[in-house]
Amino acid sequence: MANDTLTIKDNRTGKEYEVPIENDTIKAMDLRQIKVNDADFGMMSYDPGFKNTANTKSTITLVDGGNGILRYRGYPIEQLAESSTFLEVAYLILNGELPSKDAYEKWVYDITHHTIVHENIKDLMSAFRYDAHPMGMFISTVAALSTFYSDSGDIFNEEARDLNITRLIAKVPTIAAFSYRHLMGFPYKLPDNNLSYTGNFLSMMFKMAELRYEPNPALERALDVLFILHADHEQNCSTTTMRTIGSSQADPYSALAGAAGALYGPLHGGANEKVLRMLREIGDVKNVPDYVERAKKGEFRLMGFGHRVYKNYDPRAKFIKKVAEDVFEVTGRSPLIDIAVELERIALEDDYFVERKLYPNVDFYSGIIYEAMGFPVSIFPVLFAVPRTVGWLAQWQEMLADKEQPIARPRQVYLGEGERDYVAMDKR
């Protein structure tokens, strides 16, 4: 008998089944042959939250949670964060290889020359309430973009698909900045083509009456590094949403709006906002032990702690700690960093956190940096969505090319009532 198979014995019937093992997985559909009798539907696997279900084969990102490793297309995240730029990493994630000099220059040119949005987008955003949450504005406006491009649904036409990918990566910083300007009551600022991707983003965010905004190079680089660290993270909640919506062959704008909606939640990309609010609530280093005790009692979770996949220090969090120091040299030290460092120290020594392998994740320090750079807390999830747009699009593109991917449609275990007859209202 070949070794690369799994033998399953069904003790209800005494029957044995042999199913192939490929890449350390078995196909869930191979379980369907396991039946008690011919009328039986067949065995399914039950996996709420997909904790042990691979939904796709992918060649984009590797997260080795046990060893704290993250690689994009094989390149360690530390090397990319140290030596690359966000747009180079975006090219790598989307195309599989680092670009040649010519390809990189063309890519940067194309992105830079698609940053402007239609004037109607401004009108649309102006219609939001004065205190609308920036992430709500971002999600809705990205969805609305599909109505501006007649080729948005032409997803199997490579040229149209590439153009819409370029448009999305180029325009999300513009929409993100407009959502901030709307919140602040400031006029929207047009993109500046002489600046880098992150330099232009800072300009659209913070430019006031000056003729030209000059981004601080250290802050521009710090934001670029943060964007690299957030660009992709394989099959997380929002990426799975992108793939799920995309599997119905919806246009990328609608799928991306859905993915951003999934990111918004406090257990995912909304955590960075919650971390900052948590650190402010703790207020002082001396209150940290009491706060940790309350988290252990289950009163609340420590935001920015724990991860479904990492059962070791999140490599992004390690790098972000370094970025924080670079930023504080320009902005001055945030008092919240001392609370964060103390919280991390106490939690990492505590049995509760050690036993459950709960370490700081990417969101733990990113919010402190963003705040020091002048971003308001409510825009933090948007700052996650802008770079993650690249990962969502790369995963969506990969899914479209994958002949094994049908429309996403999970099964359920039905435990409701059996058939019963309708009862008229006066008889209930």
In whole angstroms, the minimum distance from the beta carbon of 388 to ligand CMC comes to 9
Answer yes or no whether residue 362 interacts with ligand CMC by CB under 6 A. yes
Give dist(CA 125, CA 177) in Å, integer.
Answer: 11
Residue type, 158: E
Note whether 304 binds ligand CMC by CB under 6 A: yes
Considering only 178-186, 220-228, 354-362, 365-373, which stretch makes contact with ligand CMC by CB under 6 A?
354-362
Question: Which span sits near ligand CMC by CB under 6 A: 29-37, 79-87, 267-275, 367-375?
Answer: 267-275
Q: Assess contact for 31 and 7: CB atoms under 8 A.
A: no
DSSP string over 159-207: HHHHHHHHHHHHHHHHHHHHHHHHHHTPPP----TTS-HHHHHHHHHH-
Indicate if 307 belongs to the active site.
Answer: yes
Name the residue with tokens 């996650």.
384
Kindly state the helix (H) or strand (E) to which residue 272 belongs, with its residue range.
Answer: helix 271-282
Q: Does 71 bind ligand CMC (CB under 6 A)?
A: no
Please tell me which residue in 110, 151, 268, 338 is annotated as part of the active site.
268
Contact at 8 Å (CB) between 297 and 343?
Answer: no
Interface with ligand CMC (CB under 6 A), residue from 306, 367, 387, 391:
306
Q: Indicate which single residue of 232, 342, 344, 363 sits in contact with ligand CMC (rule: CB under 6 A).
A: 363
Among all chains, which residue has been given the structure tokens 């991707």? Answer: 197
75-76 and 61-64 strand pairing: unpaired
220 lines the binding site for ligand CMC (CB under 6 A): no
89, 137, 155, 303: which one contacts ligand CMC (CB under 6 A)?
303
Quote the CA–CA distance of 283 and 275 in Å, as a whole number: 12
One-letter amino acid at 171 equals: K
Q: Which residues pair with 14 in a beta bridge?
A: none
Cβ closest to ligand CMC, residue 35 vs residue 301: 301
Q: Which residues of 384-401 are buried (b: 16+ CB within 10 A; e: fewer)?
A: bbbbbbbbbbbbbbbbbe
3-state secondary structure of 305: strand
Q: Give whichever of 167 and 321 is closer to ligand CMC, judged by the CB atom.
A: 321
The three-state secondary structure class of 8 is strand
H or E element: which one contains 17? strand 15-20
CB of 49 to ligand CMC, least distance (A): 6
Backbone angles phi, psi at 20, to 5 degrees: -70, 145
* 198, 361, 389, 395: which one binds ligand CMC (CB under 6 A): 361
**Of the ranges 88-96, 239-247, 299-307, 394-402, which one interacts with ligand CMC (CB under 6 A)?**
299-307
Amino acid at 245: I
Identity of the residue, 141 or 236, whose beta carbon is nearer to ligand CMC in the bound complex: 236
Name residues contacting ligand CMC, limited to 226-255 (CB under 6 A): 233, 236
Q: Is residue 232 annotated as a catalytic residue, yes or no?
A: no
Residue 307 CB, shortest distance to ligand CMC, in Å, is: 5
Considering only 114, 118, 122, 308, the residue that binds ligand CMC (CB under 6 A) is 308
The β-bridge relationship of strands 15-20 and 69-72 is unpaired
Active site residue 251: no
To ligand CMC, the closest distance from the beta carbon of 308 in angstroms equals 4
The residue of the chain with the least Cβ separation from ligand CMC equals 306
Among 71, 118, 122, 301, binds ligand CMC (CB under 6 A): 301
Nearest partner of 361 among 398, 422, 323, 312, judged by Cα:
312
Q: Please, what is the minimum distance in Å from the beta carbon of residue 265 to ligand CMC? A: 9
225 binds ligand CMC (CB under 6 A): no
| Residues tagged active-site | 268, 307, 363
Q: Which residues contact ligand CMC by CB under 6 A?
A: 233, 236, 267-269, 271, 295, 301-308, 356, 358, 361-363
